[in-house]
Amino acid sequence: MKELESYPCGKKPSEGYKSEYGGLIVSLKLKADTGTLSFFTTTTVFGTDVDITFSELVIESFMPGDAFTAETVRRLAEGA
């Protein structure tokens, strides 16, 4: 992080700005009966000019953003 912070770049976030992931990830927070679940998403886009089947295939995956969410999702999946 120190190396990244040393690079000349744009303005730093204001002091009122709160980010758990340094502004790199925007988390999705859902309030559920079990508590607040936190997720982040990754998107994979398959693009090729020779295979029309994969020309616009997109896969979006939601990953747990904290240990509580990971454990809660595991527990819910076992009960399904």
One-letter amino acid at 49 equals D
Q: What is the dihedral of CA 49, 53, 55, 58, to 10 degrees?
A: -150
Give percent of the chain above pLDDT 70.
Answer: 64
Question: Going along the chain, which residue ranges are E strands?
Answer: 28-32, 35-46, 57-64
Overall number of domains in the chain: 1
Instruction: Give the pLDDT confidence of 57-67 residue by residue, as tens digits.
Output: 788 999 999 99
Helix (H, G, I), strand (E, B) or coil at 77: helix
Please report whether residue 42 resides in a domain: yes
19 located within any domain = no
Query: In this structure, is residue 56 part of a structural domain?
Result: yes
Cβ neighbourhood burial of 53 (10 Å; 0-12, 13-18, 19+): exposed
Q: Whole-model pTM?
A: 0.58
DSSP bridge partners of 33? none
